[in-house]
Chain A
Amino acid sequence: MSTAAVAEIDDLTVWFPSPGGPPVRAVDGVSLTVRAGETLGLVGESGSGKSTTGLALLRLVDPTTGRIRVGGEDVTGWSRRRLRGLRRRVAMVFQDPQASLDPRRTVGASIAEPLVVHRLAGSADARRRRVAELLDLVGLRPETAGRHPHELSGGQRQRVGIARALAGEPDLIVLDEPIASLDLSVQAQILNLLRRLQRDLGLTYLFIAHDLAAVEHLSDRIAVMYLGRIVETGTPTQLWREPAHPYTAALLSAIPVADPRVERDRRRIILSGELPSPTDPPSGCRFRTRCPQARPDCAETDPPAVEVAPGHRAACLYAGEAVRAMRADPPAPVTGGPR
């Protein structure tokens, strides 16, 4: 695997103005590097800023501060016109394939749109051939080109969404919750398809999802976000075996396991309270208001990311230690299963 950076985000903040109040700090100081040929998983719950980070990569939202580099070029200040070129190099797959396809246009027209917009296939005939090729790549029949989205199943629609993202031969594909609105029996198909396409075409993914199990399945590295910040990065194995940030540990423990025997004996870390408002994040560590291991100095120091193992970083003053303490002594009210 090459280690060349396809995209770099450097100390990005995205603040949205909120009427009559302080701005919503959707993303607040995020740095990320997506390397060629890898899948970087970006995990977080709603309000974590993970989707906004993905949108910022395509400049679909404007950064408040910070820099975004794609293929070594700083695209932070690019004009509307130049951005259209950026959007050939970075493509996006959306969560709801039904909503992301124009209901009035045929599947073929939707897939061909990047080709038309960026003048990638000369004649209409060449375009048709390319669409058929793309459909074949994602496991759909060429006749599908003549259909409208509503005639397809959810899984087929998402395949169309992926084909459209592939059309411009992008350097990076941002997958924004690509399986979240699909039926369970179809999710695995799409995950397998994404993996096969990556292997065959050498694609680079930024895989944004709330489902840690799915992210872990597809990703080479994972970044966990909480309230506009990255709290932990590492390989799936590192995060799964030895989460160093208390939030990651809580997130992992909240994932239900499809095995009643495991579930019954499980000691779950249930987070108390609610996600703080992104207009007024807590001082110091942002997770401290819900952290079972919060200590007085957590309110004072904004924890920097520290390396706990090679390639494994966590933004916690007590990285590693806090999680070990939590696991040894889970909070009281959650002991005992539902039975």
Chain B
Amino acid sequence: MSAPVVPSPRAGGEPPGGEPVLAIDDLTVTLGTRNGPARAVAGVDWSVAPGRTLALVGESGSGKSMTVLAATGLAPRSATVTGRVRLLGRELTTMSETDRRRWRGRHVGFVFQDPMTTLNPVLTVGRQVTEACEEHLGMSRRQARSRAVELLDLVGIPAPERRVDAHPHQFSGGMRQRVVIAMALACEPELLIADEPTTALDVTTQAQIVELVADLRRRLGTAVVWITHDLGVVAGIADTVAVMYGGRIVEQGPVDAVFAAPGHPYTRALLAARPRPGAAGEELAAIPGAPPSPLDLPAGCAFWPRCPVRGDARCAHELPPLVPIAPGHRVRTFYPTTADGGATADPTTADGGATADPTTADGGATAEDRHQLRPEDR
């Protein structure tokens, strides 16, 4: 007997929230590369509760994917991982490789960016969708097939009885990603990890996949970790957001708070740099320079060399702590801005007042500071 997909007996009774499905604490990943050690992730902690979506946002090299790979034991061999990772109450870092693989396979589903490389071109999608389940749940071929049809139906593939025997190349990009999602959900995992699942897709297809995952989460109560660089997608899908830069979390909080009142200059600058529909013709507030390489991270705040606030010497030498600016909203900067757009009083520079215009990315520093820092400012 195949397990019914909707409603899942496990997910059905459980209200969103509660004990975290995945909790990581002080996770640090150092990669041994030919060019020396690269600190890909440093001191990251977050957790995700059942039925909730955590969005990990960052640019290339920010460590957003590596965080999740390392947490689930999928980091490359050259990586040194420290910290604690609890998946459904069990510590993953101290488990044996075999136990970890089994525990992960049973409770975590993965969706990656490119569905074509995730799927095996020579197997039918039906075989692939249930491959993992057959192992973990001990299903027969027959059960597996009917379960595959059920799963394809769940992810919105039309005529699943027929499509179950098709090969991946017979599907479009969006449909392939649906197959991958079906594959990830096959064992009814408590956690779905989606690593840039819509980046390779067109915007109208992206909208379909975002809706699908949101809907599945609601119906199955799955916790979702969604890794992306697209702030628009984050706004649509996340409950909480963790913004990463240079391997660290620079801002973390409820999605509304982070978008309405970003506390970190990087988050503010990212939001300001997006071309907004309906506001054509304006000069964009670009961030100068490029994201740092994990091989060559600045000593203090990783964003300092590009920062519009540009604080003081402390920013260049000292790592800012992750400080709370509102309940559940933390920011790693010496110059956080609060909901009203003003800078909070900094203990060392007592004159940190509010700026006039919260939309300028300079919002963190006082006008006086700015004048002092950049004599050539015109």
Q: Determine the residue in chain A with the shortest Cβ distance to B171.
A: A274
Q: Is A4 an interface residue (CB 8 A)?
A: no
What are the interface flags for B273-301 relative to A under an 8 Å C-beta threshold, 1 for contact and 0 otherwise? 11111111111111110110000000000
A interface size (C-beta, 8 A): 52
B residues within 8 A CB of A155? 290
Interchain nearest-CB distance for B366 vs A (Å): 25
Q: Is the CB of A216 within 8 A of B256?
A: no
Kindly state the separation between the CA atoms of A252 and B204 in the bound complex, as whole angstroms. Answer: 9
One of B231, B281, B290 near A153 (C-beta < 8 A): B290
B residues within 8 A CB of A319? none
Q: Is the CB of B277 within 8 A of A257?
A: yes
Interchain nearest-CB distance for B203 vs A (Å): 5
Q: Is B331 an interface residue (CB 8 A)?
A: no
One of A45, A156, A338 near B203 (C-beta < 8 A): A45
Kindly state the separation between the CA atoms of A338 and B213 in the bound complex, as whole angstroms. Answer: 9
Q: Determine the residue in chain B with the shortest Cβ distance to A236.
A: B280
Q: Is the CB of A185 within 8 A of B235?
A: no
A residues within 8 A CB of B205? 45
One of B174, B211, B259 near A260 (C-beta < 8 A): B259
Kindly state the separation between the CA atoms of A192 and B288 in the bound complex, as whole angstroms. Answer: 11
B interface majority secondary structure? helix
B residues within 8 A CB of A253? 207
Which stretch from A13-21, A65-73, A262-270, A296-304 is at the chain B interface?
A262-270
Interface positions of B from 174 to 225, Cβ below 8 Å from A: 174-175, 202-208, 210-211, 214-215, 217-218
Q: Is A213 an interface residue (CB 8 A)?
A: yes
Q: Is A117 an interface residue (CB 8 A)?
A: no
A residues within 8 A CB of B271? 258
Interchain nearest-CB distance for B233 vs A (Å): 5
Knowing A187-B273, A188-B287, A256-B232 are in contact, say whether A217-B280 is a contact too (CB < 8 A). Answer: yes
Knowing A45-B202, A210-B203 are in contact, say whether A185-B270 is a contact too (CB < 8 A). Answer: yes
What are the interface flags for B295-328 relative to A under an 8 Å C-beta threshold, 1 for contact and 0 otherwise? 0000000000010000000000000000000000
Kindly state the separation between the CA atoms of A256 and B230 in the bound complex, as whole angstroms. Answer: 9
Q: Is the CB of A338 within 8 A of B236?
A: yes
Interchain nearest-CB distance for A227 vs B (Å): 12
The 7 closest A-B pairs by CB, nearest first: A256-B232, A338-B214, A217-B275, A153-B290, A188-B286, A188-B273, A45-B202
Can you identify 7 A-B contacts, CB atoms within 8 angstroms?
A188-B284, A255-B277, A256-B210, A258-B271, A260-B236, A274-B174, A338-B217
Query: Which residues of B approach A to under 8 Å, CB–CB?
Result: 53, 59-60, 172-175, 202-208, 210-211, 214-215, 217-218, 229-239, 255-256, 259-260, 269-271, 273-288, 290-291, 306
* Known A211-B203, A237-B278; 16 more pairs at CB < 8 Å: A45-B205, A46-B173, A184-B231, A188-B287, A212-B203, A216-B275, A217-B280, A254-B204, A257-B232, A257-B235, A257-B236, A258-B271, A263-B232, A271-B208, A274-B175, A338-B53
